[in-house]
Amino acid sequence: MENKLDTLRHSASHIMAEAVVALFPETKVAIGPSIEDGFYYDFDRKEPFTVDDLAKIEEKMREIIKENAPFVCSAVKKEDAIKLFEEKGEKYKKELAEAIEGDTVTFYQSGNFTDLCKGPHVKSTGEVQFFKLLSVAGAYWRGDSSREQLQRIYGTAFFTKEELNDYLTKIEEAQKRDHRKLGKELDLFSINDAVGGGLILWHPKGAMLREVIENNWKKFHLENDYELLVTPHIASEELFSISGHLQTYSENMYAPMEIEGKPYRVKPMNCPMHLMIYKTKLHSYRELPIKYGELGTVYRFEKSGVLHGLLRVRGFTQDDGHVIVQPELLEDEVITVFKMAIDCLQMFGFKEYKIYLATRPEKKYVGDIKNWEKAEASLENALKKTGYDYEVDAGGGAFYGPKIDIKIKDAIGRLWQCSTIQFDFNLPERFDISYIDKDGKKARPYMIHRALMGSLERFIGVLLEHYAGALPVWLSPLQVAVLNISAEQEDYCKDFIKKLKAEGIRVVFDNRNEKIGHKIRENAMQKIPYIAVVGARELESNSVAVRARGNKDLGTMTADKFIEMIKSEVEAHK
C-alpha cells in the first residue's frame, strides 16, 4: 500500500509541475519526489509563488486530471536527452541527466508535460483525485547552500477524500500545537538575532520547566546506579583529534579559537571528556559496568535554513550517558539501558514507539567490518529479548557503531526521534581505555553511548506539542495561579502562597487591579493547571475557590485539602 501511495504522490508532483509550467512558462523545473507525507517539486522562478498562485495551480491540476491523460514511459539516448534539455534551457534536468549512469534515460509524458524520470507512475492523471497543495519554501539545488536557491512547493495526495480530510485536520491540529507559537504565548523561551540563530533564551517559566525535567532526570539516573559528571564547554583540539571527530565530524564543528597559541573547540560531544575521566585511575572488572551521566551542553553547526525552534538548534543540552562494560556483559547492559529508556519515556506520558536497529553506513564509518557484524548481532539479540517489535534501518548507524533508535508517537500520531542506544568500539581503542580482568590482565571494555530524551531543547519542543502546552501538573512550570478579587484579600493570599511554596508547589500571585473575570481568562490562557480565587466569602471561610484547567469549577475547599489534592496528583506520576 505504501509503494502505491508513493506512486500516486509522485504522479501528483508531475501533474503539479505540468500545471506550473502551463501557468508560468518562464519557470525552470528541477526535481519532484514523493516524501513521507506527500510530495514536492522544486522550481526556479524569479517571482515568489504566493498563496493565490497555489490556488491557481490547484485549479490547473484539476483540469489536467480531468483530461485523464496517460503516463507514457519512453527510453531516450542519454546524449539526446542532454541536448534536448540544453536547447530548452532546462539546466537542472540537464545536470540530472548527465549524472545518470548508462547510455539511456527514461522520460515520462502526460499531456503536454514530459519529465526525466525513472518512475513508476499511475496509469493516467485521472487517478489523482484527492490532493492539496500545502506550502512554499526555499530550497537549495541539491541541498548545497552554494548553489541556486529554488522554490519548493509541497503538497499531499491520498486515495480517498476521507484520508485527505483526516490528514488536513491533523495538519491544522499540528499548527495549533506548534511549540514555537506555544513558547511565545506561554512565555517560555525566545530566539533573538542579536544573540544568534539556533541559540535559545530560556525565560523564567521555561527555565523552571527545564529545572523540573533535570531534577527528575538526575533522581532517575542516581536510582539506576549512574554517577553524575560535569565537563567543560570547550576543550583542546587535540582531544577531538584523538576521538576522531576532527576527521569525521568537522563539518558540524565550529572553527577553532586560539588560547595561548593552542587551538580549542567548543565541544560537539561529551564522550571524549567522559573517557578522560575514566582514564584517571585503574579499574577492575568488579567495578564494571561503570555508568556516567551528564546533562552536557554541546554545540553543533546547523545551516540557518534548517534551524527550527527548539527542534533544530546550534547549542543544546544532551541527556548524555556512557556505559563502560565488559564485552561479555554488553548484551545484558543494552537490555538494561533499553528498559531504562522506555521507563523514562513513560514517565513523560509517551506510551507508543517505533524501534529501529540502525546498521553500518555504506561509506563513512570506522572500525573493522567483523566488529560491526558482532556489534549488530549483539544489539539485535538484545532487542529480540526485550519483546518489542523493531525494524532494520540499513545504513543508519553512527560512524563509530550501530545503534538502536526509539521514536515516540505523540498525541496526534506523529513520530519523533528520541532515545538512542549506540555501540562504540572506536573510542575505547582511540583512547586506549582498559580494565583489569579476572586473570589480572589488561582488557579492552566496550562502550555504550545513550541518550534517553535526546536533547532537552528538542524534548521540550516535543512535550509542548504532545500536550498542546497543557503540561501535566507535575511538569508544569507553574502549578497554581492565586487570584484575589480585591485588595482586602492580599494578605490572606500571601499567607496561602507561603503554604503552597513550603510544600514545593510552584505558584504565581496575580494581584493586578483588574476584574476577576479578566484575570481568570488570562491565567487560563497560560494553561496553568489550577486557578485559586479568593474573594470576601473565601476570606471569611478560610478557603479558596478552585478552577481546574479546561474551565472546570471544583468548588470551594480549604487550603489543606487543595494542597493535598495537588500533591497527590504529582505523586501519581511516579
Tens digits of residue pLDDT in 461-509: 999 999 999 999 999 999 999 999 999 999 999 999 999 999 999 999 9
> Among this protein's residues, is 271 annotated catalytic?
yes
Angle, CA 210 vertex, CA 207 and CA 211 arms, to 5°: 85
pLDDT at 366 over 80: no
Give the integer Cα–Cα distance in Å for 17 and 533: 59
Q: What is the mean pLDDT of residues 68-77?
A: 92
Condensed to tens digits (0 to 9), the pLDDT of residues 271-303 reads 999 999 999 999 999 999 999 999 999 999 988
**177 within a domain of the structure (yes/no):** no
Residues 111 and 203 in one domain: no
Q: Which of 210, 322, 360, 547 is catalytic?
A: 322
Q: What are phi and psi of 195, to 5 degrees?
A: -85, -45
Residues 163 and 293 in one domain: no
In the chain, pLDDT over 70 holds for what percent of residues? 99
SS3 191: coil
Residue the block writes with cell 476521507:
162
- Greater confidence (512 vs 370) lies with 512
Condensed to tens digits (0 to 9), the pLDDT of residues 228-262 reads 999 999 999 999 999 888 887 888 899 999 999 99
Length of the chain: 574
Q: Which of 53, 115, 320, 510 is catalytic?
A: 320
At a CB cut-off of 8 Å and minimum separation 6, what does 224 contact?
291, 340
Residues 461 and 558 in one domain: no
Domain boundary among 466, 493, 521: 466
CATH number reported for the structural domain that contains residue 303 in this entry: 3.30.930.10
Residues 117 and 165 in one domain: yes
Residues 120 and 196 in one domain: no
Q: Which of 221, 403, 506, 527 is catalytic?
A: 403
Query: What distances in angstroms separate CA 36 from CA 3, 40, 155, 156, 336, one per listed residue?
Result: 11, 11, 11, 10, 33
Among 332-336, 411-415, 556-560, where is mean pLDDT lowest?
A: 411-415
Residues 347 and 460 in one domain: yes
CATH number reported for the structural domain that contains residue 63 in this entry: 3.30.980.10
Give the integer Cα–Cα distance in Å for 16 and 59: 10
Domain boundary among 466, 499, 526: 466
Q: What is the predicted pLDDT for the residue at 1?
A: 39
Pairing of strands 189-190, 201-202: antiparallel
Q: What is the predicted pLDDT for the residue at 9?
A: 95
Q: What is the predicted pLDDT for the residue at 360?
A: 84
On the 0-12 / 13-18 / 19+ scale of CB atoms within 10 A, 99 is: exposed
Domain boundary among 405, 431, 466: 466
Q: Which of 271, 344, 418, 493 is catalytic?
A: 271
**90 within a domain of the structure (yes/no):** yes
pLDDT at 140 over 50: yes
**153 within a domain of the structure (yes/no):** yes
Pairing of strands 290-299, 227-228: parallel
Sorting pLDDT into bands at 50, 70 and 90, what band is 76? confident
Give the integer Cα–Cα distance in Å for 23 and 45: 12
Residues 376 and 292 in one domain: yes
Residues 343 and 444 in one domain: yes
Where residue 454 falls (left for φ over 0; alpha for ψ -120 to 50; beta otherwise) is left
Instruction: Please give the grid coordinates belonging to residue 111.
Output: 499531456
Q: Name the domain count of the chain.
A: 3
Residues 162 and 279 in one domain: no
**564 within a domain of the structure (yes/no):** yes
Instruction: Please give the grid coordinates belonging to residue 226.
Output: 549512574
Q: What is the predicted pLDDT for the residue at 268?
A: 93
Give the integer Cα–Cα distance in Å for 7 and 493: 64
> Among this protein's residues, is 403 annotated catalytic?
yes
Condensed to tens digits (0 to 9), the pLDDT of residues 525-560 reads 999 999 999 999 999 899 999 999 988 999 999 999
Sorting pLDDT into bands at 50, 70 and 90, what band is 307? confident
Residues 37 and 144 in one domain: yes
> Among this protein's residues, is 210 annotated catalytic?
no
**472 within a domain of the structure (yes/no):** no
Q: What is the predicted pLDDT for the residue at 257?
A: 94
> Among this protein's residues, is 308 annotated catalytic?
no
**471 within a domain of the structure (yes/no):** no
> Among this protein's residues, is 66 annotated catalytic?
no
Residues 295 and 380 in one domain: yes
Residues 164 and 233 in one domain: no
> Among this protein's residues, is 233 annotated catalytic?
no
Give the integer Cα–Cα distance in Å for 180 and 94: 40
**499 within a domain of the structure (yes/no):** yes
Average pLDDT, the chain: 92
Q: Which of 179, 205, 265, 449 is catalytic?
A: 449
pTM: 0.85
Domain extent, residue 366, equals 183-466
pLDDT at 108 over 80: yes
> Among this protein's residues, is 318 annotated catalytic?
yes
Q: What is the mean pLDDT of residues 10-26?
A: 95
Sorting pLDDT into bands at 50, 70 and 90, what band is 574? low
Q: Which of 132, 291, 300, 466 is catalytic?
A: 300
**494 within a domain of the structure (yes/no):** yes
